[in-house]
Structure 1
Amino acid sequence: MDESINQICKSASFGLWKIGRIRRLLNRTLTERLVHAFTTSRLDYCNALLNGLSKTALHPLQTIQNAAARMITRSRRHEHITSILYDLHWLPIHQRITFRILITAFKCIHGMAPSYLSKLITPRVPKRALRSKPFTLVPRNTNNKKHYGPTAFSVAVPDLWNELPPGIRMITDFTSFKSHLKTHLFQEHYTDGF
C-alpha cells in the first residue's frame, strides 16, 4: 500500500501547491472549498482500502491533511495541529477511514448498497423478540486467508459496527446517521486529545 499512499500524497500535495500559489487572493471560505476539491477529496477517495494500516503507515496522508488545515487557517508550522483540526471539525485520517467504512455498512444494512457488498455482512437475529433491538452484525472468522484477514470488509465491518453505541446503530435515516456518526467519532478522538 506504500505505493498507493505515495501516489495519493503526490496528487494531494500538488493540489495544495496550486492553491498555495493563489492563497493570498482567497478568503477562508474559498480556500476551504478549493482544499476540499483538490486535496481532501483525494485523501478520501477509496480510503476504506487503507483500513487496518498502522498510524505510521498513514502518517504521510495525515501530514497532507495537516498542511491543508494550516493553509486554510493560515497558521504557522509550530502551532499545535490538534486544536486546528478541532476548530475545522475535521476527523484525522484513521477516523475518516472508519467513518467511510461505517457509512458503507449503513448503506448495506438498509438496502442502499450493491448486493455484492450487502452479502458480505450478516445481521445477528435474536432468538426471541426484544423490546429494544440494538442491531448488531455477526463477526466473521479471520482464519480464512482468502479474505485478507482482519482488514477485509466482511471482517472489519461487524467489529466497527458492533462497537458503535446502540443509539447510533438504531438510526434509520441516512443523513441523521452520518451526522451522529461523525459527532461520535469526533468526540471519541478529541476527548482523548484534550
Structure 2
Amino acid sequence: MNTTKVMLAHSLLLFVLDYADASYLRLTEDQLNKLERLQNLAIRFMFGLRKYDHVSEFLQKLKWFPVRRRRDLHVLSFLYCVLFNPKTPPYLKEKFNVVGTASDLRSSRMLTLSMQFHKTKFYKLSFAVQAIELWNVLPTNIRQAKSLNMFKNTVKALSLALAFILRNKTTGFYFFSIYSLI
C-alpha cells in the first residue's frame, strides 16, 4: 500500500463523500451505488487492484466503511452532538425527546428516543426519523458515552466487529448492518 495514494484518497475523495452526507438521506439506491463505486475505485487505485477484484478485505484493512454505513455513523455523531451539546439550538433539540422524562424511569436512563407518528414516506426519510431509528438500536452503554470521541470510537469499534462477524458468516460476501445483530 502506497501511503501517498492513501493520503490522496483521504484528502480528495473521502472529503467529498463525507461532506454533508448526513443531510442527504433521500438519495436513491442508484445514487448510493455510484458513490460506492467511486469509493471502490479509490481502493483499487490505492492497492493496485484490477477492475473486478473484490475490495472488501481492503475496506477492512483501511478501517473504512461502505458509503451507507459512513453516512449512518455521521448521522449518529451529529445526533449525539444535538442531544448532549448545551449550545445546540433549541429548534434542533426539540425534535428529539427521550422516552420517560422522569429521572427514575428506566427508559430515560437508557436514553431511548421517542418516535413521532408519521404516515408519509417523505417524512420517514427525514433526518429526525432516520437518526432516531439508528440511535435506538445502539446498545445503551454506547448511548451513554461521556464524550463525542468516546461515542465515535465505540460506534466504530462495534461496526467493525459486526462487519467482520457478518463477513465471516456469509463466507466471503461483505455484508454489514448495525441493526442485524443488536
Measured against the shorter chain, the TM-score band is: 0.7 to 0.9
More helix by share: 1
Q: Whole-Å Cα distance in 1 between the matches of residues 135 and 106 of structure 2?
A: 20
For the 8 Å contact 1:104–1:113, the answer to whether it is kept is no
Matching residue within 81, 90, 97 for 1:122:
97
Q: Whole-Å Cα distance in 2 between the matches of residues 119 and 68 of structure 1?
A: 40
Q: Quick check: 1:172 aligned with 2:136?
A: no
In structure 2, the partner of 1:184 is 158
Offset, 1:126: 5.2
70-79 or 55-64, larger mean C-alpha shift? 70-79
Q: Whole-Å Cα distance in 2 between the matches of residues 185 and 150 of structure 1?
A: 24
Q: Whole-Å Cα distance in 1 between the matches of residues 13 and 154 of structure 2?
A: 25
TM-score normalised according to structure 2 size: 0.80
1:41-65 CA-partner distances (Å, limit 9, x unpaired): 1011111233254544410000000
In structure 1, the partner of 2:177 is none
For the 8 Å contact 1:47–1:100, the answer to whether it is kept is yes
For the 8 Å contact 1:134–1:166, the answer to whether it is kept is yes
- Please state whether the residue corresponding to 2:42 is helix, strand or coil: helix
Output the amino acid matched with 2:141. G
Q: Whole-Å Cα distance in 2 between the matches of residues 56 and 158 of structure 1?
A: 25
In structure 1, the partner of 2:51 is 77
TM-score normalised according to structure 1 size: 0.76
Give 4+ residue runs of structure 1 displaced > 3 Å after superposition.
Answer: 52-57, 112-115
Offset, 1:113: 3.6
Q: Quick check: 1:152 aligned with 2:126?
A: yes
Q: Which runs of 5+ in 2 are unaligned?
A: 169-182
88-97 or 107-116, larger mean C-alpha shift? 107-116
Matching residue within 68, 86, 92 for 2:60:
86
Q: How large is the RMSD of aligned CA atoms in angstroms?
A: 2.3
Q: Whole-Å Cα distance in 2 between the matches of residues 55 and 191 of structure 1?
A: 25
How many residues align? The count is: 166
In structure 2, the partner of 1:193 is 167
The alignment-based identity, stated in percent, is 26
In structure 2, the partner of 1:106 is 80
